[in-house]
């Protein structure tokens, strides 16, 4: 985990953090410690300090209940999982299943697994246990039958879990620690363990994708790190540990990345330094012809590899930005004029080259892109700049870089900042969306008034209840939207699906098109049942920051009221739960004509609201409609 | 590195591991003498010791160490240049 910085005086720092009297401050300090490269003993020490915070609800640290069940010994993974979670600003309650007990634990509704009421269940099954005993002499037909049976059995367990719990299921890929039977010829014999494990992992991945189960792909990591990094046969013989204790920290990190990604906590923007990061040398001193970049020089190719990786991330929807101490004209010219430059000026959603403090520039970049500072990753070769940004903005991810540029791209990739649990058409189109956004901004500056601007956009909202095709995008939007989010309630995919198919709920999704293109599915509302007769509870309302200031919230409420009136409702109840990020909607309910029922008199206090539908006055907007709900 | 040096390093590791600064290992200390030094923590202890001294115990070693002194002597024997 070489992207994490080393820590010099761990014992002293831990003691100081442990002694903090304020629970929130204490947890923040422990979280900062968790963001370092820790050994086995240090991880256990940090976990012990964390125990004092067990059961506390602390602002800024969401709680998640995670059960890991399987066929090997799992207890030793729990501390590393909790410490990894702390690094990601999550507090995990971890339950580990008994050795070899996962089938009984899942099938028996009275087992400790269900008593724990997990929100996430991880199936950490060994290859032997999943496949059963298949002899190496088995025919192709026998092997296929055995693998199909193994997949069916796993799917049945997933289904049992999800029938009984509203739970996210994570299937761990099978760790191939088999020994070669023939050698290179193993691939040509259906019944060899390595051949069967590879096929079963592929089948499990397909089944998981179609069943909405997430994968924890430790086999992928093992293939890169080597079996010895993950498995120590002595620990298996002594304690039936399939993951060796030295690998527990990485295991925890990989698992928590998935849990954090599902909650919308992955990073969104890669901010890059220029000199000695995107190219070798200092362009202000060396000139455009003097920098080291591109084919023909090993170091030049190393910097190019980082550009190529940044470009791949951009293509999957990650925003790129520049933050460099440079003359802006010289820096921009490099992207325009250098023949080997892979990235172009237009690839960067934000481009900041000046002589100011980088922490201040990073704040400006986040503000310009309308994303949180905790969405940024900052890559800089200069250890002083890195230390300065970590100190001033601990929520920015700053990978430690090795001395050799050859390892920049691999280190950034290993850090896994951009973990995803889905890949939607919105992700594919995001880069283009941001480019269109700058065209819209140009229209705004030409328009005489905001009303002119909005009319000039030729907007149409397409709306409806959640359809089965929308569920992935709806889940993603609900869980990663932080600004326009009335309750910041997070939903598992299963809960979204349940709401969509329950008649007591009204679910609404909105897509917004304008003359520059389709903004995609940008807003969702979930109305649930309320104890008051003929009323609905506005459980959650989110809107992408891309479409702020378009009056979509007014048109959405017009549609919501009409839909509810058709169901003979008389009112909406709603909560506004303030967070650090959703102040942008603090006056939302007032502006829509809701009356305050209670709360909200003190800053940061949640407030409760009611809308009497018979008195609702629809707002005129410049948005045409298409759809039905 | 003398046996005493090794012994004091083992004491530090076990203190950190169990969060108990009162632990004081001697050559004749047995696992049952130290509160909370259960089989779970014994494995963690062995892993931490292997990392610290860059040695690798055999499975049979770990099963049969009668006391801390046996661990100390085995580390001394396995260390490069010993």
**Which one of A39, A234, A244, A248 makes the best mutation probe of the B interface by having the most chain B beta carbons within 10 Å?**
A234
Q: Are A39 and A45 in contact (CB under 8 A)?
A: no
Contact B17 A246 (CB under 8 A): no
Secondary structure class of A417 (helix, strand, coil): coil
| A501, two tokens | 């198919």
Instruction: Give the lowest-confidence range in A355-359, A388-392, A517-521, B47-51.
Output: A517-521
Nearby residues of B73 by Cβ (< 8 Å), 6 or more positions away: B3
A–B: how many Cβ contacts below 8 A? 44
A442: confidence class by pLDDT, cuts 50, 70, 90: low
Chain B residue with minimum CA distance to A11: B16
Query: How confident is the prediction for chain A on average, in pLDDT?
Result: 92
Interface of A with B in 563-582 (CB under 8 A): none
Which of B43, B53, B56 is the best residue to mutate to test the A interface, defined by the most A CB atoms within 10 Å of its own CB? B43
Share of chain B above pLDDT 70, in %: 98
Contact criterion met (CB < 8 Å) for B51 and A45: no
Averaged over A130-148, what is the pLDDT?
94
Q: Say how far apart CA A262 and CA A252 lie, in whole Å.
A: 16
Q: Inter-chain contact A39–B44, Cβ cutoff 8 Å?
A: no
Nearest to A238 among B13, B48, B62 (CB): B62
Task: Determine which of A205-214, B5-14, B54-63 has the lowest per-residue pLDDT on average.
Answer: B54-63
Residues A527, A537: contact at Cβ < 8 Å?
yes
Q: What is the pLDDT of residue A519?
A: 82
A-chain residue closest to B39, CA distance: A239
Do β-strands A484-485 and A535-543 pair in parallel, antiparallel, or remain unpaired?
antiparallel
* ipTM passes above 0.90: yes
Whether residue A304 contacts residue A340, with contact meaning beta carbons closer than 8 Å, is answered with yes
* Residue A157 exposed, middle or buried by CB count within 10 Å (0-12, 13-18, 19+): buried
Closest CA to A90 of A110, A114, A69, A119: A119
Helix, strand and coil percent figures for chain B, each rounded to 5: 60, 0, 40
Question: How far, in Å, CA of A314 to CA of A396, rounded?
Answer: 19
Nearest Cα residue in chain B from A233: B59
- For residue A25 the two structure tokens come to 């401050």
Domains along the sequence of chain B with CATH: 3-78 (1.10.1200.10)
Residue A54 has a pLDDT of: 73
Helices of type H across A37-180: 40-50, 78-87, 102-107, 112-115, 127-131, 140-164
In chain B, the percentage of residues whose pLDDT exceeds 90 is 82
Percent of chain A with pLDDT over 90: 75
Lowest mean per-residue pLDDT among A64-68, A300-304, A430-434: A430-434
Angle subtended by helix axes A78-87 and A23-34, to nearest 10: 100
What is the rounded average pLDDT of the residues A262-266?
90
B51 touches A: beta carbon within 8 Å: yes
- B36 CB near a chain A CB, below 8 Å? no
Query: How far apart are alpha carbons A294 and A118 in whole angstroms?
Result: 50
A40 in reach of chain B (CB within 8 A): yes
Q: What's the pLDDT band for A600 if we cut at 50, 70, 90? A: confident
Beta strand A517-529 with A506-514 is antiparallel
Per-residue pLDDT band at A369 (split at 50, 70, 90): confident
Give the pairing of strands A459-464 and A319-325. Answer: unpaired
| Residue B15, CA atoms < 13 Å, CB-side half-sphere | 12
Chain A residue at shortest CA distance from B14: A41
> Which residues in chain A have their CB less than 8 angstroms from residue B13's CB?
41
Q: How far does B44 lie from chain A, in Å, by closest CA?
A: 7
Mutate to test the interface with B, among A41, A76, A233 (most CBs of B within 10 A): A41
The alpha carbon dihedral of A593, A598, A601, A604 has a sign of negative
- Determine, for residues A245 and B16 on separate chains, whether the beta-carbon distance falls below 8 Å: no
Asked whether the beta carbons of A93 and A115 are under 8 A apart, the reply is no
Which residues are CB-contacts of B62 (< 8 A; sequence separation ≥ 6)? A234, A238, B46
Report yes or no: A16 and A26 within 8 Å, Cβ to Cβ. no
Segment A158-183 mean pLDDT: 95
Distance from C-alpha of A526 to C-alpha of A56, rounded to nearest angstrom: 29
B12 has a pLDDT exceeding 90 = yes
How would you label A525-545 residue by residue, b for 16+ Cβ within 10 Å and e otherwise?
Answer: bbbbebeeeebbbbbbbbbbb
CB-based contacts of A614, cutoff 8 Å, min separation 6: A570
Top pLDDT among A430 and A19 is at A19
pLDDT at A288 over 60: yes
User: What string of DSSP letters covers A285-301?
Assistant: HH-TTTSB-STTSHHHH
- The tokens 């940024």 sit on which residue? A376
Per-residue confidence (pLDDT) for residue A425, from 0 to 100 = 77
pLDDT score recorded for residue A516: 75
Q: Quick one: pLDDT at residue A53?
A: 75
Sheet holding A376-379, edge to edge: A348-354, A319-325, A269-272, A376-379
pLDDT surpassing 60 at residue B82? no
Task: Read off the pLDDT band of A441 (50, 70, 90).
Answer: low
Average pLDDT rounded to a whole number, residues A372-400: 94
pLDDT number for residue A275: 94
Residue A313 to residue A412: CA distance in whole angstroms: 11
Tell me the pLDDT band of A559, cut-offs 50, 70 and 90.
Answer: very high
Contact check, Cβ <8 Å, B16/A41: yes
């Amino acid at each position: 985990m070489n992207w994490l910085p080393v820590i010099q005086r761990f014992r002293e720092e831990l003691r100081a953090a442990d002694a903090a009297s304020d629970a929130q401050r204490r947890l923040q300090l422990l979280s900062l410690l968790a963001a370092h490269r820790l050994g086995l003993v240090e991880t256990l020490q940090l976990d012990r300090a964390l125990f004092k915070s067990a059961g506390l609800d602390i602002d800024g640290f969401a709680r998640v209940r995670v059960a890991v069940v399987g066929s090997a010994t799992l207890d030793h993974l729990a501390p590393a999982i909790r410490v990894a979670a702390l690094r990601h600003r999550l507090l995990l309650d971890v339950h580990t299943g008994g050795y070899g007990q996962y089938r009984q634990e899942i099938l028996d509704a009275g087992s400790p697994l269900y008593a724990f009421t997990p929100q996430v269940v991880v199936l950490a099954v060994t290859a032997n246990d999943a496949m059963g005993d298949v002899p190496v002499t088995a025919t192709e037909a026998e092997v296929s039958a055995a693998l199909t049976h193994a997949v069916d059995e796993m799917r049945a367990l997933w289904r049992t879990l999800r029938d009984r719990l509203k739970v996210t299921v994570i299937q761990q890929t099978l760790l191939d620690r088999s020994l070669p039977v023939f050698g290179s010829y193993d691939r040509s014999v259906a019944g060899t363990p390595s051949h069967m494990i590879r096929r079963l992992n592929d089948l499990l991945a397909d089944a998981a994708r179609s069943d909405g189960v997430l994968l924890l792909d430790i086999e992928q990591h093992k293939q890169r790190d080597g079996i010895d990094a993950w498995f120590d046969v002595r620990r298996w013989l002594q304690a039936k540990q399939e993951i060796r204790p030295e690998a527990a920290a990485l295991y925890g990190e990989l698992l928590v990345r998935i849990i954090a990604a599902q909650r919308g906590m992955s990073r969104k923007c890669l901010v890059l330094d220029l000199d000695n990061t995107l190219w070798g040398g200092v362009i202000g001193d060396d000139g455009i012809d003097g920098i080291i970049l591109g084919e023909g020089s090993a170091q030049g190719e190393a910097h190019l590899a980082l550009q190529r990786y940044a470009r791949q991330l951009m293509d999957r929807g990650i925003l790129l930005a520049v933050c460099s101490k440079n003359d802006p004209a010289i820096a921009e010219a490099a992207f325009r004029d250098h023949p080997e430059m892979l990235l172009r000026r237009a690839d960067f959603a934000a481009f900041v080259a000046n002589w100011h403090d980088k922490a201040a520039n990073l704040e400006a970049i986040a503000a310009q892109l309308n994303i949180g500072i905790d969405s940024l990753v900052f890559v800089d070769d200069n250890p002083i700049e890195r230390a300065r940004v970590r100190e001033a903005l601990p929520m920015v991810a700053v990978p430690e870089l090795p001395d050799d540029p050859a390892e920049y791209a691999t280190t950034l990739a290993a850090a896994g900042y951009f973990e995803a649990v889905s890949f939607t058409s919105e992700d594919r189109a995001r880069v283009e969306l941001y480019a269109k956004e700058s065209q819209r901004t140009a229209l705004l500056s030409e328009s005489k008034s905001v009303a002119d601007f909005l009319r000039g956009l030729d907007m149409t909202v397409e709306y409806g209840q959640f359809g089965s095709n929308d569920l992935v995008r709806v889940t993603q939007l609900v869980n990663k939207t932080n600004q326009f989010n009335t309750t910041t309630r997070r939903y598992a995919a299963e809960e979204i699906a349940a709401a969509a198919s329950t008649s007591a709920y009204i679910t609404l999704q909105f897509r917004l098109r304008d003359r520059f293109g389709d903004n995609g599915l940008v807003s969702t509302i979930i109305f649930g049942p309320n104890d008051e007769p003929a009323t609905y509870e506005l459980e959650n309302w989110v809107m992408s920051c891309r479409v702020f200031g378009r009056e979509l919230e007014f048109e959405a409420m017009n549609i919501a009221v009409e839909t509810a009136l058709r169901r003979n409702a008389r009112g909406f109840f709603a909560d506004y739960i303030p967070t650090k990020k959703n102040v942008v909607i603090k006056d939302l309910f007032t502006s829509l004509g809701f009356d305050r029922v209670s709360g909200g008199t003190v800053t940061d206090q949640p407030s409760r609201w009611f809308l009497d539908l018979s008195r609702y006055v629809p707002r005129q907007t410049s948005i045409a409609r298409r759809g039905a709900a | 590195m003398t046996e005493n040096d090794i012994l004091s390093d083992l004491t530090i590791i076990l203190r950190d591991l169990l969060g108990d600064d009162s632990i004081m290992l001697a050559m004749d200390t047995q696992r049952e003498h130290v509160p909370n030094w259960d089989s779970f923590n014994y494995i963690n202890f062995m892993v931490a010791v292997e990392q610290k001294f860059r040695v690798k115990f055999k499975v049979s070693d770990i099963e049969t160490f009668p006391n801390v002194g046996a661990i100390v002597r085995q580390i001394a024997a396995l260390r490069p240049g010993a």
